[in-house]
Amino acid sequence: MNEMKEQQKNDTAFEGLSDPEVQEAIQTLIQKLPKIKDAVLAAEQGLEFATSVMKDQQSLRSLFERAEEQMAPFRIEKESIVALMALMDKMPKILKLVSALEQVADLAESLMKDKESQQYLFASVQGYIKPVTQQIDHAVEVFQEAKERSEQKQQSVSIFDLYKLLKDPTVQKGLRFAQSVVEVIGEKQRHSK
């Protein structure tokens, strides 16, 4: 019975050897045998070296000391680990900021390439800037005209002139604004204490 099982195993093995893929694999293995032999010999030499080093305590200590000296710049301290953990906690926020900056950069890059968008943006900005510049120009004109008039007048300002000036609606509006500013500043200072 054992002989029959042994015979069946041999027959199965011989059938496997008749397969072209198996024959090709065996041929490749035979061709690579010199390289495999060299690798095994190199591994044996490395193992012999490691074994001799393990037996030689002085060499082993020297090896570890050299390794420790070379690894000293890469030593991780507790503060570095704590900082790394804190940074890891902040990573979702940093990622959101980087993503937003990336979108802005992409938009700016596409805007720089698109002349039509540049013109539209320029026209839109001018629509906001023009009223402001007009108000600034008007304020400068008023200031310059008032300066010229004040330089031309030589008479003194009387108490009655000041009283009439205080009744002027523009002065009243300015005084109410100044009074409101002083009140708000006082409230803010009381709340901050």
CA angle 105, 108, 113 (to 5 degrees): 130
| Three-state secondary structure string covering 96-137 | HHHHHHHHHHHHHHHHHHCHHHHHHHHHHHHHHHHHHHHHHH
Helix (H, G, I), strand (E, B) or coil at 77: coil
pLDDT for res 180: 94
Angstrom distance (rounded) from CA 121 to CA 109: 14
Contact by Cβ (8 Å): 22, 16: yes
Q: At residue 3, what is the residue type?
A: E
pLDDT for res 46: 83
pLDDT for res 169: 92
Q: 146 is written with which tokens?
A: 């008032």
pTM across the whole model: 0.32
Helix axes 169-192, 159-167, angle to 10 degrees: 80
Kindly give the parts of the chain with pLDDT less than 70: 1-2, 4-5, 7-14, 16-17, 53-54, 60, 74
Angstrom distance (rounded) from CA 13 to CA 7: 10
Contact by Cβ (8 Å): 85, 79: no
Domain positions in the chain = 2-75, 77-113, 158-193
Taking CA atoms, 3 is separated from 9, 137, 166, in Å, by 10, 115, 130
Q: 81 is written with which tokens?
A: 């680990």
Residue with tokens 């099982």: 5
